[in-house]
Amino acid sequence: MKRFQSIDEYILALSDPARSMIVSLREAIRQAAPQAEEVISYNMPAYRWNGMLVWFAAFKTHIGFYPKPSAITAFKRQLEPYKTSKGAIQFPMEQPIPLRLVKQIVEFRVKENARN
């Protein structure tokens, strides 16, 4: 398995539609947390500010978004259309990612990390 050194390298390894979905997800996260540092964590693109904020990854049938369990609990109602687990949200490949919701979740995580 390839070990990625940067988010750009990760994106270059993808093909569409995953690549374009990951690019738009990355842009939404950057808009919501411009102060966050881009990193690779667990070989996935991630953002860190006062600790880890969120991770994301492309899979065969979905885009995985990992904002920590607290965010999934806080946005439970808005996330009802998506498959979720304790720490993960799956955005299906055949649907657009809800970027406004992603930004709200990232902003929630920034506020959470600011308190730590």
Band of residue 20 on the pLDDT scale cut at 50, 70, 90 = very high
Q: What token pair was written down for 109?
A: 């995580």
Note whether residue 43 is domain-resident: yes
- For 33-91, what is each residue's pLDDT tens digit? 999 999 999 999 999 999 999 999 999 999 999 999 999 999 999 999 999 999 999 99
Note whether residue 50 is domain-resident: yes
Q: Give the chain's radius of gyration (CA, Å).
A: 13
Band of residue 116 on the pLDDT scale cut at 50, 70, 90 = confident
Q: What is the pLDDT of residue 73?
A: 97
Note whether residue 58 is domain-resident: yes
Q: What is the pLDDT of residue 80?
A: 97
CATH number at residue 18: 3.90.1150.200
Note whether residue 53 is domain-resident: yes
The residue-averaged pLDDT of 25-40 equals: 98
Q: Distance (Å, rounded) from C-alpha 3 to C-alpha 103?
A: 28
pLDDT, averaged across the chain: 96
pTM assigned to the model: 0.95
Note whether residue 2 is domain-resident: no
Note whether residue 1 is domain-resident: no
Residue 52 CA to chain centroid, in angstroms?
Answer: 11
Please give the tally of structural domains in the chain.
1
Domain range for 21: 7-115
Q: What is the pLDDT of residue 2?
A: 85
